[in-house]
DNA sequence: GCAAAAGTGTTGTGTATACACCCATGG
DNA sequence: CCATGGGTGTATACACAACACTTTTGC
């Protein structure tokens, strides 16, 4: 078989725009929130264009940095899709992003935060991506340490559990939750306790995983720029 | 906060090429094989360019159809990355593809098949993508029915097990394997047996899942083209 | 002393693993 | 009758879900 071979050199023909979109979540006050921007009487996901010599992850991080004042963040690629955006052929590379809410409240962003349980109308693609991002985030809670990116460097087990409950939108058993977290060995006790009410103080923990880029089915090389040849 | 807002209308600036690359596997003679094309004294993954009004999945399917004579196939998006390819800024959307080997042998393709245990040198990006594709394929064997796409419509349990062993590159226990497959309820007995040697004939099964696009953490909407607005 | 959150164990149930023998057929 | 691959069951370890009470503190 020698059908039409690789279309390398032939006239490029039409070229799509490329944009990067981010499904940005945060957890605050026991709820999950998503960031949306307003565009032509409708809401849409934060997005931007990549630049040459910039990895897609870097593009996503840059867009996030432009959106958020503080840049405590986590990003992870979700999916890419082709479609028509604003009349133009566009290939969108989508990311899941996590932002850290302060005790003060929701992070300040260029757009607005919406309760993830009551998301306003967006275009169909953004809506699908949002659903998918939430699905992935929920799944990842089970086998990664992403949740730490929704918490400050030190936190109590109850706070961690509240993050899980907010994202999963259901209650968890305290004892089973604590057992699992301890068994996973991903927490390090700080030795410090926090007193904050008329009740027993809670121990503070920090992530032992040092906030690494959590990888399970996400490739580890995704943040580097492609290059020449390798040896194998 | 109102930093530089969404960069929508500003001059587009440079635009990357977009290509779609496929990590194409097949199983034959108890081994896993990968398809590579030769390009300028080096091997590379099969690839091509998307067209407007074509989903990325459709692009991948088209490239695969051009590569393979028969088009028994499965595709699933892997990852997207930006880099320099042949001197040009390129955003690559990568896919995992599965092809069906006939009893005759490896499917006929435009390029060549290589034993997945002895892959020749490729560029670094393709090499990473290949590793990642294999990782994903192996992981997916555990919780999806992708393996059926590496077998003809009806097959024996031993053949199915051999596919698993070829991909995973390790032996599996026959009884545990059969129990799990049966427990999953994804096989339907055809009632037919196959006689093919001086031993007891094997029952033939077919997939009950009707070769659907396997979805777990893969979005179900990925094969449609993006459009207007949705209602929620 | 009481309200309020922190912290702690046991039991049952299901799921995955290790492992060895008989069955049907062709020659 | 024998060689070849097809087919089957059991015992054990581990992971997960359900479930209630004691501890420490502030007021």
Q: Would you state the structure tokens that stand for residue B4, as one six-digit string?
A: 């530089």
Beta carbons of B167 and B27 less than 8 angstroms apart: yes
Q: Residue A71's pLDDT is what?
A: 72
- Give the mean pLDDT of B71-75: 82
Q: Residue A192's pLDDT is what?
A: 97
- Which distant-in-sequence residues (6+ apart) come within 8 Å of A90 by Cβ? A16, A17, A18, A19, A82, A83, A84
Q: Would you state the structure tokens that stand for residue A224, as one six-digit string?
A: 């580097």
Is A227 touching B (CB cutoff 8 A)? yes
Q: What is the pTM of this model?
A: 0.89
Q: Chain C bases under 7 Å from protein CB?
A: 3-10, 16-20, 23-27
pLDDT in tens, A14-57: 999 999 999 999 999 999 999 999 988 899 999 999 999 999 99
- Give the mean pLDDT of B154-172: 97
Q: Would you state the structure tokens that stand for residue A180, as one six-digit string?
A: 């699992």
- Give the mean pLDDT of A200-212: 85
A-chain residues near B123 (CB < 8 A): 226-230
Does the pLDDT at position B146 exceed 90?
yes
- Give the mean pLDDT of B93-103: 95
Is B46 touching A (CB cutoff 8 A)? yes
| Segment holding B157, helix H or strand E | helix B157-168
Does the pLDDT at position B38 exceed 50?
yes
CB contact under 8 Å between B135 and A217, yes or no, is yes
- Give the mean pLDDT of B180-207: 95
**With a 7 Å cutoff on the CB, does A199 touch strand D?**
yes
- Measured between its terminal Cα atoms, the distance across chain B in Å is 28
Q: Residue B216's pLDDT is what?
A: 41
CB contact under 8 Å between A18 and B14, yes or no, is no
Q: Residue B49's pLDDT is what?
A: 96
Q: Residue A104's pLDDT is what?
A: 84
Taking CA–CA distances from A140, the nearest residue in chain B reads: B217
Which among A39, A69, A119 has the least Cβ separation from residue B232? Answer: A119
Percent of chain A with pLDDT over 90: 77
pLDDT in tens, A159-192: 999 999 999 999 999 999 999 999 999 999 999 9
CB contact under 8 Å between B82 and A226, yes or no, is yes
Is A82 touching B (CB cutoff 8 A)? yes
Is B191 touching A (CB cutoff 8 A)? no
Percent of chain A with pLDDT over 70: 85
pLDDT in tens, A72-101: 789 999 999 999 998 999 999 999 999 999
Does the pLDDT at position A63 exceed 90?
yes
- Give the mean pLDDT of B2-9: 46
Q: Residue A69's pLDDT is what?
A: 80
Q: Which one of A19, A35, A79, A102 makes the best mutation probe of the B interface by having the most chain B beta carbons within 10 Å?
A: A79
Q: Closest nucleotide to residue B202 (Cα to C1')?
A: D6
A-chain residues near B5 (CB < 8 A): 37, 110
Q: Would you state the structure tokens that stand for residue B205, as one six-digit string?
A: 């099964």
When the pLDDT of each residue in chain A is averaged and rounded to a whole number, the result is: 87
């Amino acid at each position: 078989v020698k059908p039409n071979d690789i279309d390398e050199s032939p006239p490029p023909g039409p070229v799509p725009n490329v944009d990067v979109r981010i499904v940005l979540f945060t957890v605050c006050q026991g709820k999950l929130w998503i960031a949306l921007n307003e565009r032509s009487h409708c809401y849409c996901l934060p997005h931007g264009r990549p630049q040459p010599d910039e990895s897609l992850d870097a593009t996503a991080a840059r867009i996030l940095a432009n959106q958020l004042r503080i840049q405590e963040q986590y990003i992870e690629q979700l999916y890419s899709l082709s479609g028509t955006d604003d009349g133009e052929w566009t290939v969108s590379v989508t990311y899941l992003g996590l932002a850290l809410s302060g005790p003060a409240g929701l992070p300040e962003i260029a757009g607005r935060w919406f309760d993830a349980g009551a998301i306003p109308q967006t275009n169909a693609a953004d809506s699908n991506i949002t659903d998918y991002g939430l699905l992935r985030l929920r799944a990842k809670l089970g086998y990664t340490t992403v949740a730490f990116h929704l918490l400050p460097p030190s936190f109590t087990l109850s706070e961690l559990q509240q993050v899980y409950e907010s994202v999963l939108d259901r209650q968890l058993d305290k004892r089973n939750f604590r057992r699992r977290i301890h068994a996973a060995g991903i927490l390090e006790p700080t030795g410090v306790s926090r007193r904050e009410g008329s009740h027993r103080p809670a121990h503070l923990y920090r992530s032992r995983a040092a906030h690494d880029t959590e990888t399970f089915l996400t490739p580890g090389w995704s943040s580097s720029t492609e290059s020449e040849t390798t040896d194998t």
